[in-house]
Structure 1
Amino acid sequence: MKILQIVPSISLIYGGPSQMVLGLAPALAKEGVEVTILTTDSNGDNGQKSLDVPLNQPVKKDGYEIIYFRCSPFRRYKFSLDLLNWLKQHASEYDLAHIHALFSPVSSFAARICRQQKLPYILRPLGTLDPADLRKKKQLKQVYAALLERPNLASAAAIHFTSNQEAKVSERFGIQTHDLILPLGVVPTQKESNNNLLEKFKIPQDIPLVLFMSRIDPKKGFDLLIPALEKLLSQGLKFHFVLAGTNPQNPSYEEGIQKQIQNSLLHPHTTITGFVTGELKTALLQAADLFVLPSYYENFGIAVAEAMVAGKPVVISDQVHIWHDIHNSKSGWVTKTEVESLSNALQSALQNPEECKNRGNNARNYALENYSWDAIARQLIQEYQKLINKS
């Protein structure tokens, strides 16, 4: 079985949804699938240097290969004529394409080429069909959908949603689709503490640590989180808040959040790390007592799954689409998108360290069983084969 994975970028700077193919590809390869990832060298949208990678040639990885192509100068819109030309020439050599992202030109035109070349394809929307997301730049997206995404959806072999809730709320533009519901996977963190890294950022280790680790974006619920944390401080609760993340597409919003915290009573109780990866990311996940993500909408929440597999209880809103999993497995606390509801959940967690520990253990067990790349890859291969046979 030869499978293409097509994604606009796999740079760390774009976060988990883009990076997921780097977890999926080796898991598929382990099961004997020949995997080729097509992507661009985009590495941020605001003047960052492109990825330092060979272009237009296979780069061998753990049993699979990646081919990087030059991204157009307008990186925010992720377009590569070289990638699309390569796909036209080589589509017939593959059995199926798994395309990640909608409303991204390289993905949209890749689906169109697959259709022309009679290569069956799966689309993974990454939450872009959520009504809340479609309201952003609404008129432009309506035109884009009519011209490109509606026919792409109509001809897709399947639409890959990462939760039942994502599938339930997603817009289909009047199209009947075959839905494939499979979560994303996570890689278990190594249990090796690194106190030196925490000391470098002056993160105290004698009081509870509340961790936010995700993209700094309006949809993440900062207008709920900051007031909720301020309320807890005013009530005398002791904790330290770590804000880990960035926003390469909206740096002004990130700066605004940082200034808001600097002018808040949260300031002496907060560490802002910026974007983290590698050892520091692992150290923060291990040191955290509680992970929080009160998003207004989230099709999966890969950061939540990463915290769970690290054994951390999570406090999330009921708009993070895996909230049913969290609730049913008692892996944390689920709140409304309201300051009062969020502060009550955080207070309950912080005041009950033994319950926090129990729910953290539940979180790890659930994540290892349900968010394992190996298990997901095996299920996905079965779906791939069904779609290939059907085509």
Structure 2
Amino acid sequence: MKVLHILTSLNPIAGGVAKAVDLAVCALDSVGFASEVVCFDEPEASFLRSKHYEVYALGPANNMYSYTENFKEWARVHLRNYDHIILHGLWQYSSYGGYLFWRKYASTSSLWVMPHGMLDPYFQKAKDRRLKAIRNWFFWKFLERQVVNNSNGLLFTCLDELKLARTTFKPYNPKSEIVVGLGIDSPISYSYSLSEAFKSTIPALNERPYFLFLGRVDSKKGVDLLVKAYRSLRVKHADIPDLVIAGPGLESAYGQQVLSDAAGDDRIHFPGMLQGAAKWGALYGAQNFILPSHQENFGIAVVEALACGTPVLISKQVNIWREIIKEEAGIAEADTLEGTINLLERWLNFSEEQRRLKKDNASKAYRQYFTTNAFGENLRVLFNK
């Protein structure tokens, strides 16, 4: 069987949807399904060269709606060749356009929508997203509710995402709601070269222990809370590990504010976006991974940390926090300054034995819930019905 994935962009800087599509392709391959991908990036984009699957890049789509006139003709010729189609994400031309062309050219195929958290009520309530919230309301009324309610169903990464999606827009009447999960391959095995690759990005770190944030420096991620909490605890804990904040976004207004909040503290490091060996070296070597996010549909980087045996300190707005707490693989608190301080302080007050146990449980939690095999099997069962 052939599966087509449609999304706006495979650019890794754009966020988790691009990575989730990579993972979905791998998961389906593991159970014998062939996947191809349509995106609206420019065909010459450098990040497409490393893809191990067929990509049809139909861009450029240099507009707010990510519209590209190339999609209609491609869909007319090719869309009927697929057994199953998954629309990844909402609010862009890739979702409503994909739905329209499915109805016109490929209605005998099944159409599924994987919203990747984009139906979370957070996005309609956040103060810094008021204009986007109004836009989304109009998009829902005239466009996206058709996509959600008339496709074969919605695919969710976890139960919390499913429950939250029911509360945001009306009328919300999908034909089916299915938790398929999300999973990653086992990471590359640890080697000293991974640590060296990471340390080369922060020479000032030397051999000191560190806490790790790995992701976009964005207001949704609560990075400002992390910096403020860390600096407040340095007063009481002189031996607190360094803090590494690794990811794109420092050039934004929010990123500049985070840099200002951290100014003068030589124990907070900003190496930028880490990839490849440097990223895995950072994850393997961290005392813990920290994400005090205000909204996180799944948290791929959280799962990557677990796979490396690194405990995670997260907010209860990360939708997989219940599984992590159940397996005692980390700590979860509120997405507030007080909650973030509690995350760090609870960890600092752990004994070495308690920390070692969290590390052991991190690997177990990954194997229990978040492997590629489990994700692929869920999709296989769904598509074979």
TM-score higher than 0.5 = yes
Deviation at 1:309, TM superposition (A): 0.6
Correspondence 1:300-379 to 2 at 5 A: 300-352=298-350, 353-379=352-378
Instruction: Name the structure 1 match of 2:79.
Output: 91
Give the secondary structure class of the aligned counterpart of 2:271. strand
Equivalent in the alignment of 1:47: none
Residues 183 and 375 in structure 2, CA contact (< 8 A), matched pair in contact too: yes
Q: Which amino acid aligns with 2:379?
A: L
User: How many angstroms does 1:384 deviate by?
Assistant: 1.7
1:21 aligned residue: 21
- In 2, distance between residues paired with 1:108 and 1:203? 48
Q: Deviations over 1:79-113 (max 9, x none)?
A: 32213321222222211101101011222211221
Equivalence map 1:66-81=2 (5 Å)? 66-74=55-63, 76-81=64-69
Could you report, residue by residue, the CA deviation over 1:93-147 in whole angstroms, capped at 9, with x for unpaired residues? Answer: 2111011010112222112211233132111112111111134222211111111
CA gap 1:368/1:143 in 2 versus in 1, 3 angstroms: same
Would the aligned equivalents of 1:185 and 1:372 in 2 still touch at CA under 8 Å? yes
User: 1:345 deviation in Å?
Assistant: 2.4
| Corresponding letter in the other structure for 1:120 | S
Q: CA deviation at 1:183?
A: 2.1
Q: Structure 1, unaligned stretches of length 5 or more?
A: 44-49, 387-391
Identity of aligned residues (%): 26
The residue aligned with 1:243 is 245
| Cα drift, residue 172 of structure 1 | 4.3
Does the Cα contact within 8 Å between 2:36 and 2:54 map onto a contact in 1?
A: yes
Matched with 1:133 is 123
Contact 2:196 2:281 in 1 (8 A): no
- Structure 2 stretches lacking a partner, 5+ long: none
Preserved contact between residue 211 and residue 291 of structure 1 (Cα < 8 Å): yes
Q: Which moved more, 1:122-131 or 1:30-39?
A: 30-39
Mapped to 2, the partners of 1:112 and 1:346 lie a distance apart of: 48
The residue type paired with residue 189 of structure 1 is P
Distance of aligned partners of 1:334 and 1:60 in 2 relative to their CA distance in 1, 3 Å threshold: closer
CA drift at 1:373: 1.1
Q: Deviations over 1:206-225 (max 9, x none)?
A: 44310000111111112421
Paired with 1:12 and 1:200, the residues of 2 have a C-alpha distance of 19
- Shift of residue 203, structure 1, vs aligned partner: 4.8
For normalisation by structure 2, the TM-score amounts to 0.90
| Alpha-carbon distance between aligned partners in 2 of 1:158 and 1:334, rounded to the nearest angstrom | 31
Structure 2 CA distance, aligned partners of 1:329 and 1:308? 11
Report the alpha carbon displacement of residue 192 of structure 1 after superposing the two structures with TM. 1.5
Give the aligned partner of residue 139 of structure 2. Answer: 144
Give the Cα–Cα distance (whole angstroms) in 2 for the partners of residues 297 and 60 of structure 1. Answer: 30
User: 1 CA distance for matches of 2:339 and 2:50?
Assistant: 48
The answer on whether the counterparts of 1:29 and 1:35 sit within 8 Å (CA) in structure 2 is yes
Query: 1:300 is matched by which residue type in structure 2?
Result: F
**Contact kept? 2:140, 2:169, Cα under 8 Å:** no
Determine the C-alpha separation between the residues in 1 that align with 2:362 and 2:32: 31
**1:4 counterpart letter in structure 2:** L
Counterpart CA distance in 1 for 2:282 and 2:13 is: 18
- C-alpha contact (below 8 Å) 1:315/1:345 kept by paired residues: yes
Aligned length: 370
Residue 30 of structure 2 contacts residue 376 of structure 2 at CA under 8 Å; is this kept in 1? no
Match of 1:229 in 2: 230
Show the counterpart of 1:39.
39
TM-aligned CA distance change 1:371 to 1:334, over 3 Å: same
Runs of 4+ deviating beyond 4 Å: 59-62
1:299-333 Cα deviation digits (max 9, x unpaired)? 11111111111111110011111010111010100
Describe the shift of the 1:346–1:5 C-alpha distance in structure 2 as closer, same or farther (beyond 3 A). same
Asked if structure 1 preserves the Cα contact closer than 8 Å seen for 2:314 and 2:343, the reply is no
Residue 29 and residue 189 in structure 1: after superposition, are their counterparts in 2 closer, same or farther (change >3 A)? closer
Q: Give the superposed CA RMSD.
A: 2.2
